[in-house]
């Protein structure tokens, strides 16, 4: 009888273990941000050039959706999750000794570079999947922070359909006036798709 009871207890434990292991793992925004900012996980790449630091970090679409949907909800504008899940998002960051890269520019250079980053950045950025034809971003969104941040950031948006069944992605930032030359950042799609099935609601 004792042996039967032990077997039933073990069976019950295995069933419970299977049920809980099949559940989606719970994750918070802080968990996700901490994960993608760890270079070992493949979401962020960076290079140092003299006193400049240039970085490109993939942003899971769920994280972008969380931030944008809250704003859209407050303004009453409808938006679909497909607007986010069908795209790849990256943040290009530019800093100089831990401060915004633009802070070290003269007034004339500052005005010109702000114009480029605000309206013409798509000309200087491309993404090349598996050594195929480079793809231009759908959008490059620059948010001025007027010296109040640690870096100048530009959100890069690409259409996922352009990278179907590809294994690697090279993002190229061409020289656009900051004297950083042409910089390449290589990503693996296995890393980028790690959170592709993450439930957006879990980030609330």
Q: Where are the domains of the chain?
A: 27-203
Digit-coded pLDDT (tens) for 2-28: 444 445 544 444 444 443 344 445 677
The three state secondary structure string of 108-123 is HHHHHHHHHHHHHHHH
For 183, the token pair is 């910089």
Comparing CA positions, the residue from 192, 188, 117 lying closest to residue 155 is 117
| Apex 83 CA angle, 80 and 85, nearest 5 | 105
Digit-coded pLDDT (tens) for 83-138: 898 999 999 999 999 999 999 899 889 999 999 999 999 999 999 999 899 999 99
- How far apart (Å, rounded) are the C-alpha atoms in residues 102 and 88? 26
Residue 76, pLDDT > 80, answer: no
Tracing tokens 């909800």 back to the chain, one arrives at 73
Digit-coded pLDDT (tens) for 156-178: 999 999 998 899 999 999 999 99
Query: Which secondary-structure segment (H or E) carries 155?
Result: strand 152-159
Q: What is 27-203's CATH topology?
A: Immunoglobulin-like (2.60.40)
- How far apart (Å, rounded) are the C-alpha atoms in residues 103 and 97? 11
């Amino acid at each position: 009888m004792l042996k039967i009871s032990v077997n039933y207890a073990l069976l019950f434990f295995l069933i419970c273990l299977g049920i809980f292991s099949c559940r989606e793992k719970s994750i918070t925004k802080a968990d996700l941000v901490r994960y993608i900012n760890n270079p070992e996980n493949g979401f962020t790449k960076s290079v140092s050039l003299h006193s400049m630091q240039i970085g490109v970090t993939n942003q899971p679409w769920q994280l972008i959706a969380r931030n944008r949907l809250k704003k859209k909800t407050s303004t009453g504008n409808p938006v679909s999750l497909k607007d986010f899940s069908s795209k790849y998002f990256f943040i290009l960051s530019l800093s100089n000794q831990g401060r915004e890269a633009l802070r070290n520019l003269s007034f004339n250079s500052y005005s010109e570079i702000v114009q480029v980053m605000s309206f013409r950045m798509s000309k200087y950025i491309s993404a090349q999947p598996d050594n195929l034809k480079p793809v231009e971003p759908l959008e490059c969104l620059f948010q001025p922070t007027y010296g109040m941040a640690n870096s100048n950031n530009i959100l890069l948006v690409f259409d996922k359909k352009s990278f179907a069944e590809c294994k690697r992605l090279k993002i190229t930032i061409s020289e656009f006036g900051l004297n950083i030359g042409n910089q390449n950042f290589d990503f693996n799609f296995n890393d980028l798709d790690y959170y592709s099935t993450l439930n957006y609601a879990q980030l609330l």
